[in-house]
Chain A
Amino acid sequence: MSLGTAFWRLLRRDLLLAVRRGNEWINPLVFFVIVVSLFPLGIGPGAKTLQLIGPGIVWVSALLATLLALDGLFRSDHQDGALELILLSPHPLSVLVLAKVLAHWLITGLPLVLLSPLLGVLLHQDAKVFGVLMATLALGTATLSLIGAIGAALTVGVRRGGVLLSLLVLPLYVPVLIFGSNAVASAGMGLAVEGQLSLMGGGLFLALALAPVATAAALRVSVE
């Protein structure tokens, strides 16, 4: 089969599996909402404070929810042997990895983006920032999925790899977090956000170009 067919088949398979196992996409979403709700409970419900730190809260919670979902990216395939079969295919592994990461983003990242305005309301965010919030989260979660796939591939063969995955991947997430929440905060103050959005777009394209290659190399090392 051609590379395009293989890409589409793998994407379709992952999406079908996720739809059938509702857990895979519902759990990170619920986690996202719960973590966002924890902050007002921990910090205090004052509207002014929440308005100030709201973008940061949504962004950090989105980051943690993405991390939670990343563990399952390769693990279930590794456990039933499907990952080895994918590795044996004649098609370039980085393209197949891209299919899996795209499926992962559609399952976990996109719902986060769509749910974010609701959480913005919970944190007393102005409606005018919702557009920027969704745009930065869309660009950001895609980048996070790509970078996180490297970590997931490196830790797929490790026992208790979940915490190690967070340790490896969070330092690489820091620039995305900084620009994403900064963009939303600037939008809230009425300042321009083109700079931050451009840098995030640039980061996404850099990750799109390089992360699948690193992930493929890491998979070959982990699965031996």
Chain B
Amino acid sequence: MYLWVHKLGSPRYFYSFARVVAPLLAVFCAVTMVWGLYQGLVVAPTDYQQGESYRIMYVHVPAAWMSMFIYVVMAFASAISLIWHIKLADLIAQKSAPIGATFTFLALATGSLWGKPMWGTWWVWDARLTSELVLLFLYLGYMALHEAYDNPSTGAKAAAILALVGVVNIPIIHFSVEWWHTLHQSASVSKLGKPSMPSSMLVPLLVMAVSFKAFYGTVLLWSVQAKVLEREYRSKWVRELLLGAKT
């Protein structure tokens, strides 16, 4: 098992791995997303309190979960690249950042759209919203730092340090609804307790979460594949792959 993980650090092996896995993930993502959206937007029962407008939860909550998940993946990948000097880990972190930033923005935007009918306001400076906004700034800062360096490997190392420094924000976001009782509701789904949602609403939510993860995986694998080709364009296996030439 460890040998396989270690092998993935080689750009060539990763490329052939991604070639097989990414299309499968894409199909899985499409299937689960269609099923999840159908179940969530059409089949799931109407909420007694919020009516139909609660259905934006099926996009808002998975997007918010992804925004935090991707940052943690970025932090892990950054740690791996700093400790073991594996360049592929750098690429994974670098290519995850725009996806994570987009999910964060999506979470904020869909939350805002949900908040207007529900709370009567587009925005409120409560703990969860503020810390999620700070997460967006952290993503943007990470991407800016990467671009600021002329030398891409120095930029990658500097950005890796920044990602590790910023990971303290993730527990703050997660626990913000427990530490401060302001406007955003507390957690309805927990790993240990019974969820406070009926399964007819919970199952589509979890399916959407899985489909968002598959989406992230697909897009990440495709972007890193492209970047690997860009970086390794001089090597024989890339030339054979792209030109079919045996030099």
A174/B165 contact (C-beta < 8 A), A154-B145, A168-B141, A221-B157 known:
no
Instruction: Produce 1/0 per residue, B144-184, CB < 8 A to A.
Output: 11001100001001100110111001001000000000000
Cα distance A119–B141 in the bound complex, in angstroms: 32
A27: interface (CB < 8 Å): no
- Which of A167, A214, A222, A224 is within 8 Å of B144, CB to CB? A167
From A215, which residue of chain B is reached at the shortest CB distance? Answer: B161
A172 touches B144 (CB 8 A): no
How many residues of A are in contact with the other chain, CB < 8 A?
A: 21
A171 touches B138 (CB 8 A): yes
Instruction: List, in ascending order, chain A residues with CB within 8 A of B148's CB.
Output: 155, 158, 161, 164
B137: interface (CB < 8 Å): yes
Q: Which of A148-204 contact B (CB under 8 A)?
A: 150, 154-155, 157-158, 161, 164, 167-168, 170-172, 174-175, 178
A221/B161 contact (C-beta < 8 A), A155-B148, A170-B137, A171-B137 known:
yes
Cβ of B146 to closest chain A Cβ, rounded Å: 11
- Which of A171, A172, A175, A222 is within 8 Å of B158, CB to CB? A222
From A210, which residue of chain B is reached at the shortest CB distance? Answer: B165
Instruction: List, in ascending order, chain B residues with CB within 8 A of A217's CB.
Output: 82, 161
B166 touches A154 (CB 8 A): no
Instruction: List, in ascending order, chain B residues with CB within 8 A of A224's CB.
Output: 154
From A211, which residue of chain B is reached at the shortest CB distance? Answer: B165
Instruction: List, in ascending order, chain B residues with CB within 8 A of A98's CB.
Output: none
A222/B141 contact (C-beta < 8 A), A154-B162, A174-B134 known:
no
A218: interface (CB < 8 Å): yes
Cα distance A222–B157 in the bound complex, in angstroms: 9
B165 touches A158 (CB 8 A): no
A171 touches B161 (CB 8 A): no
Instruction: List, in ascending order, chain B residues with CB within 8 A of A150's CB.
Output: 161-162, 165
Instruction: List, in ascending order, chain B residues with CB within 8 A of A170's CB.
Output: 137
Q: Which of B119-145 contact A (CB under 8 A)?
A: 130, 134, 137-138, 140-141, 144-145
Instruction: List, in ascending order, chain B residues with CB within 8 A of A214's CB.
Output: 161, 164-165
A positions within 8 Å CB-CB of B: 150, 154-155, 157-158, 161, 164, 167-168, 170-172, 174-175, 178, 214, 217-218, 221-222, 224
A178-B130, A218-B158, A222-B154 are known contacts; what are 10 more A-B pairs with Cβ within 8 Å?
A150-B162, A154-B162, A164-B141, A168-B145, A171-B138, A171-B141, A214-B164, A221-B154, A221-B161, A224-B154
